[in-house]
Amino acid sequence: MNDLAIIPCPSCGVKNRIRGYDPQKIPVCAKCRAQLVSEKEHTAFSKFNDNINKFKDFPDFGAREGKK
């Protein structure tokens, strides 16, 4: 993911800018070094991100177009 995310620290409240989410590492706060997401949230997001990457290049065959 190349999008910018801002995640507030659950411990100290500092807003952290996360440019790229590495599925191998849990992001930590720049000020207090606390984890910004729980292990469970990190695992769920990593699986979601993997699925997006697997299916992003599938062609659109028009199944979601509105009926006229």
Condensed to tens digits (0 to 9), the pLDDT of residues 25-58 reads 899 999 999 999 999 988 888 888 788 878 777 7
pLDDT at residue 68 is higher than 70: no
Measure the CA–CA gap between 7 and 16, rounded to whole angstroms: 5
Residue 60 belongs to a domain? no
pLDDT at residue 1 is higher than 50: no
Entry pTM: 0.61
Residue 40 belongs to a domain? yes
Annotate 4-30 with b (16+ C-beta within 10 A) or e (fewer).
eeeeebeeeeeeeeeeebeeeebbebe
Domain with 44 in it: 5-55
Half-sphere CA count of 57, side-chain side, radius 13 A: 3
Residue 61 belongs to a domain? no
Reduce the DSSP state of residue 9 to 3 states and report it: coil
What's the structural domain count of the chain?
A: 1
- Residue 24 pLDDT grade (very low, low, confident, very high; cuts 50, 70, 90): confident
